[in-house]
Structure 1
Amino acid sequence: RDEALSQLKLHLLRAQEQMAIYANKKRRDLSFEEGEWVFLKLRPHRQHSVVRRIHQKLAARFYGPFQIIKKVGAVAYKLNLPPESKIHPVFHISLLKRAVGNYQVQGDLPKDLELAEEDDVYPQKILGTRAVMQGDTEIQQSLVQWKNKSVEDVTWENNEVLRGQFP
């Protein structure tokens, strides 16, 4: 019995080591310094929903180059994006690719990525309030009329969520 148990443990250990080898095969150890230039990979679902193309395969995969302003945490970096850009400037290291060569000029983001004035949605007016029970907790909600939306598009939103998204 002890011999069978030790045999099982040995085989399990070998299998775990083999899985670790396969899992780490394509992983890359990356780190960037402040001031370095990198290309930015925008998420495919974001590109798909904002930039409409007939053939998605032909869409640009990387944009830039952009300069790294600072390191935020262990695996995130803040980039120097154009001032008119309306996307968050902090990106995970997996979305960055080192720019090879000397770059002094910052690249541009696609214009389709920017939100148009009519797409900018935020609360315009609170039309009413209510309290609803979610489990044992009473939640306060507000009936919100959104800017650039019709009166039929009013929604009930949790007050905590509204305060968090629109301080």
Structure 2
Amino acid sequence: MASFEALYGRFCRTPLCWSEVGERVLVGPEIVEETTQNVQVIKFNLKAAQDRQKSLADRHATDRVYEVGDWVFLKLSPWRGVLARVHNVFHVSMLRHYVADPSHVISPQPLEINPDLTYDEEPVTILNWKEKVLRNKTVNLVKILWRNHSVEEATWEIEDRIRDLYPRLFFDH
């Protein structure tokens, strides 16, 4: 018994044996002719599927022409720390043309660096509030926007701790 037959309980239907058990058995030139016809049908169906896929892909494709010195956006993965691992070679589909706009320029904030080359984190404002339910208590959290950081880098902190350290943040609320 063949391993396929032992595993699935029936014969393997290879191109040389596409007939079901009990059907007429082809021999000699008949099997060659039927196999050739089946291969032609398979080739035709594969070509039709490939043409359909190419037509769909071509519909969404656009020609992009960039000159040396053009500004572009590079699409990156949203994973944290990805900027440390940007490959120096990427596909042109990862680029988007950028038109310069003076309103996009952000002036840098002065950063006071301590002698040990660190800087003090200072909260700017509270962005959001929420309660976190633990097993046997509820903790109030606040989302803090820190100076020299973007909104995406805001962190959730325990409200009581922030209220003790930075009471000025709570005068507005």
Considering the TM-score relative to the shorter chain, is it more than 0.5?
A: no
Structure that is richer in strand per residue: 1
Higher relative contact order (CA 8 A, sep 6+): 1
Larger radius of gyration: 2
Structure that is richer in helix per residue: 2
Q: TM-score, normalised by structure 2?
A: 0.30
Q: TM-score, normalised by structure 1?
A: 0.31
